[in-house]
């Protein structure tokens, strides 16, 4: 075992957080800003990359390479390591950044590798490598909705990712095909063949309202799908928000909004 063995418990339904239990000297690594609360005895440390140094050495160059992977995927240079330096068990909790589900992944039971959206990672046991996964097919890279690069989680420990809305896991049999909106794809095991196809038919593509491309996933393997991608939620909120020329909300339906209109705001 290269990864720290951690226990965990999920709380909540649509606004979940995960509580990780650490034995003395055990460490969990998380995205910056994911912390919700922690017990006394746990020490925080900012680190380059994921702290695993898997496949890149343990020196300065190894740390720089690990941090460089995160820059390519659009993430911060730094992550935060939480280590239990007390004499007994301690807990630390991490919260999902938007409504949805937290997905615990035991990498030792998933072939040691899971590919996920670049912003899906939340936390993992120390030793799990958080790297980049280049899509070999140009169509996947240019039209996949998540860019040419996705994240890969490798190791034999626990990792936690988050998804928007309701989560659905689909286990594909050999040769079985599932077509998914590109934004709804959360993660998949490494044995799933992933490609991008254009929506057939000019009228469907232009006026169907579902975008021009979808992901085609071919089994065997497991796929995790989310019902509400954050990008879709954000676009709906932005479209519904009343705006004035200065870019501020007018408080539609309120007394302040009426006063704004009276004074020439509209």
**What's the pLDDT score for residue 99?**
86
**pLDDT at 33 (0 to 100):** 85
b/e code 177-195 from CB counts within 10 Å (16+ = b): ebebbbbbbbbbbeebebe
Beta bridge partners of 44: 82
The contacts of residue 117 (CB under 8 Å, 6+ apart) are 146, 150, 151, 185, 186, 187
- What predicted TM-score, i.e. pTM, was given to this entire model? 0.77
What tokens appear for 49 in the block?
A: 């990359």
Name all domains of the chain by residue range, CATH numbers in brackets: 7-233 (3.60.160.10)
pLDDT at 208: 46
* Residue 40 burial (C-beta neighbours within 10 Å; 0-12, 13-18, 19+): exposed
Q: Are 111 and 188 in contact (CB under 8 A)?
A: no
* C-alpha to C-alpha distance for 23 and 90, rounded to whole angstroms: 7
Full pLDDT tens readout for the chain, 266 residues: 567 888 999 999 888 999 999 999 999 999 888 999 999 999 999 887 666 655 444 555 555 555 555 555 555 567 899 999 999 999 999 998 888 899 999 999 999 999 998 788 999 999 898 888 866 554 555 554 444 568 899 999 999 999 998 899 999 999 999 999 888 899 999 999 988 777 665 454 454 444 567 788 999 999 999 998 877 766 667 777 776 555 554 444 445 455 445 445 44
> What's the DSSP call for residue 262?
I
Show Cβ contacts of residue 56 under 8 Å, excluding neighbours closer than 6 positions.
Answer: 62, 65, 66
pLDDT of residue 5: 84
């Amino acid at each position: 075992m290269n990864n720290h063995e951690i226990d965990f418990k999920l709380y909540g339904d649509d606004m979940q957080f995960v509580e990780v239990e650490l034995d003395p000297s055990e460490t969990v690594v998380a995205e910056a800003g994911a912390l919700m609360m922690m017990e006394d005895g746990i020490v925080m440390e900012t680190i380059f990359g994921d702290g695993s140094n898997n496949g890149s050495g343990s020196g300065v160059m190894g740390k720089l390479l690990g941090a460089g992977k995160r820059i390519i995927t659009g993430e911060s240079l730094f992550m935060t390591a939480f280590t239990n330096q007390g004499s007994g068990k301690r807990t630390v909790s991490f919260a999902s950044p938007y409504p949805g589900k937290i997905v615990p992944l035991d990498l030792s039971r998933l072939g040691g590798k899971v590919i996920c959206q670049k912003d899906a990672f939340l936390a993992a046991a120390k030793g799990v490598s958080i790297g980049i996964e280049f899509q070999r097919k140009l169509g996947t890279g240019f039209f996949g909705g998540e860019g040419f690069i996705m994240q890969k989680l490798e190791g034999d420990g626990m990792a936690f990712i988050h998804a928007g809305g309701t989560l659905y896991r689909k286990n594909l049999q050999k040769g079985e095909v599932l077509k998914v909106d590109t934004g709804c794809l959360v993660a998949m095991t490494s044995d799933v063949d992933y490609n991008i196809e254009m929506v057939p038919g000019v009228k469907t593509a232009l006026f169907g309202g579902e975008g021009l491309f979808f992901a085609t996933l071919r089994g065997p393997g497991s796929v995790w799908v989310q019902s509400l991608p954050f990008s879709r939620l954000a676009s709906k909120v932005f479209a519904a928000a009343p705006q004035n020329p200065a870019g501020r909300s007018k408080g539609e339906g309120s007394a302040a909004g009426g006063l704004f209109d009276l004074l020439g705001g509209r």
